[in-house]
Structure 1
Amino acid sequence: MRGNRFEGAMPDGLELAEPVMEGCEQPPDLADGELASCTVEWRMPLTVAGIETGVADLRVRLLLGDPDPRRGVDSIELELELALPTGTVGTAKSHGWMEDALLDLQGQLAEGVSLRACITCAFSDYSPAGAGLFGTMACFRGSKDAYRAVRTKWDLFRLLPESSGWVQETFLCDQYGRRASNTGYRG
């Protein structure tokens, strides 16, 4: 941004990778070393069942607020748009988490059309201890039977060490299974 390189594991935690570029007329705003006071936008493919192409274009718009006294930003807003062959659907409101935004999109899709990604998979969940904006879902494809038995947050805490790792909500592997309601910790 403005000639400065940022990197990080999550889009709401992008850190300045090296000192602010010398001679930068308008250095980026930072909150405890992380990007703030800006809008970050990107596009990515998202697998969607029930459409001819099988893949749709997901546009993500992340608004990072101003630095606040607690060394973070004062707000985070996330907006999504999904371009389908039949038209575009977008989040009904701004969200603070990818989970809520993707489930908002899913709720707007026509009958027979659904997101095919970790967010709707039978074998993924969030830690009861909390999750980040994006990319902090635990995958249980390697311990499916044990995950199917999860009913409480304590069950999930005990199973977390057996997870297959952390994945992005939009990821899709070859072991995807459609999530039924009232499954696992997140229901």
Structure 2
Amino acid sequence: MSEALGYASSQHYPAVVTDRWGQSQTTLVNNGRMFTMVLRGNRFEGTSVDGLELVGAPADTDEPPTLHQGDLCSCTIQWRMPVQVSLADAGIMSAPLAARLVLGDPAPNHAIDSVGVTLQLHLPAGVVETTTPQGFMEDALMDLQRELPDGTRLLACISCAFSDYHPAGSGFIGSMACFRDCKDTYRAVAGKRDLFALWDKRSGFVQETFHCPDFEQRQSGTGYRG
């Protein structure tokens, strides 16, 4: 069983990081398992955008990034990525999804004091955006979906009939389990106990914005997460 499913090749997203030194243009690279970004000569990697860890020694620069236990913090990361959408009057198309992630400052509890992401989906008829910052990509995408015009659907793992989260919780992005290789069994999942019994048969983990040929629109009340 693969533990990570996703893109056949790395995706490169134009990105801007804003911190105490101002704005820095960069690229956020996503291979479906890891995110990579270079900020003023410092290379960061992580399985989630809110946990980008410095790789190697810090670069010799007068504008060092702020770190908390080796992770990037005290900044805003903005990037754009393509997602699949279905429009009532234009069929299926790719649309830019702009994300703005605010990473807070180090806090006494050995974490950072805040994480908040907002989203904007750029459609031919205009921009649809989330109503408030959210702490998880799941919540931000669900918020965004509620704002979509009638007949418009987001075709991504977050809205797929065969994806779910572990009852113990999930991370900011990428800890969504895919059950595309046992569709019929997953369709019968009606709660936590059923999902636990099926968990080890998952195909792997996916990022919420990913789309694959097995996508099927999720219906309300499906699986553990509903």
- Scaled to the shorter chain, the TM-score interval is over 0.9
Cα separation, 2, equivalents of 1:122 and 1:37: 37
Cα separation, 1, equivalents of 2:122 and 2:209: 15
Cα separation, 1, equivalents of 2:44 and 2:108: 22
Query: Deviations 1:103-149 (Å, cap 9, x if unpaired)?
Result: 11111111111000111100000111110111111000001111111
Q: Which runs of 4+ in 1 moved over 6 A?
A: none
What residue is the counterpart of 1:7 in the other structure?
45
Unpaired stretches in structure 2, ≥5 consecutive residues: 1-38
RMSD: 1.1
What residue is the counterpart of 2:77 in the other structure?
40
**Equivalent of 2:107 in 68, 91, 103:** 68
Cα separation, 2, equivalents of 1:129 and 1:62: 24
What residue is the counterpart of 2:219 in the other structure?
180
1:173 partner SS = coil
More strand by share: 2
Give the TM-score normalised by the residue count of structure 1. 0.96
What are the equivalent positions in structure 2 for 1:1-187 lying under 5 Å apart?
Answer: 1-22=39-60, 24-50=61-87, 52=90, 54-187=93-226
Unpaired stretches in structure 1, ≥5 consecutive residues: none
Matched positions, count: 186
Cα separation, 1, equivalents of 2:56 and 2:177: 31
Aligned-residue sequence identity (percent) comes to 54
Give the TM-score normalised by the residue count of structure 2. 0.80
